[in-house]
Amino acid sequence: MPNYRCILAAIDLSEEAEAVLDRAVAMASSDNAELHLVHVVEPLNLAYGGDIPMDFSSVQEQLQTQAEESLHHYAKRANIPTARCHLLSGRPDAQVHELSESLEADLIIVGSHGRKGLALLLGSTANGVLHGATCDVLAVRVGQDK
């Protein structure tokens, strides 16, 4: 089993993030690895594809502020320094890949819903992270279907 030096935990800031964070903390402490947290806020104009002619800037700012507060709450709970908290904006899978490469992470930990069927094995974000990663990826099964 490899010893990881740098672990990146991608969390969605829901209650399910606890399981991902717990696994990340356990793995980082067992390997004495540096642990980073990342959350990616997807711009509302990407989510709606520009179909709704509306200015989302104030809502986007609120989402960003709430995400920052939540991310720092998780980091404090896990004793992760603020310098290792990353709040990004864009497509989650692409942003996680870019950050993991810049950090030279050798493990990405992400939550995955345990849906039935091979096609639904991983959620879309977890699936995107898995298929584009240049390092190991651990999908932590989260949700009510455990």
Q: State the pLDDT at residue 80.
A: 96
Q: How many domains does the chain have?
A: 1
Q: Which residues contact 110 (CB under 8 A, 6 or more apart)?
A: 9, 10, 20, 96, 125, 126, 129, 130, 137, 138, 139, 140
Q: What CATH number does residue 91 fall under? A: 3.40.50.620
Q: Please report whether residue 94 resides in a domain.
A: yes
Q: Please report whether residue 41 resides in a domain.
A: yes
Q: Whose CA is closest to 89, among 98, 77, 80, 79?
A: 98
Please, which residues bridge with residue 8 across strands?
36, 108
Per DSSP, helices labelled H in the chain are 17-31, 44-47, 57-77, 92-103, 124-132
Q: Please report whether residue 131 resides in a domain.
A: yes
Which residues constitute the domain of residue 59? Answer: 6-142
pTM: 0.85
Q: Please report whether residue 1 resides in a domain.
A: no
Q: Please report whether residue 60 resides in a domain.
A: yes
Q: Please report whether residue 78 resides in a domain.
A: yes
Place of tokens 């692409």: 94
Q: pLDDT truncated to tens, each residue of the chain (146 aa)? A: 679 999 999 999 888 899 999 999 999 999 899 999 999 998 876 555 555 566 667 888 888 999 999 999 999 999 999 999 999 999 999 999 999 999 999 999 999 865 544 444 445 788 889 888 999 999 998 875 54
Q: Please report whether residue 49 resides in a domain.
A: yes
Residue 41 is classified by DSSP as E
Each as own residue / partner, the long-range contacts of residues 112-117 (CB below 8 Å, 24 or more positions apart, any chain) are 112/139, 112/140, 112/141, 112/142, 113/141, 113/142, 113/143, 113/145, 114/141, 114/142, 114/143, 114/145, 114/146, 115/145, 116/145
Mapping DSSP to helix (H, G, I), strand (E, B) and coil, where does residue 57 land?
helix
CB 85 within 8 A of CB 72: yes
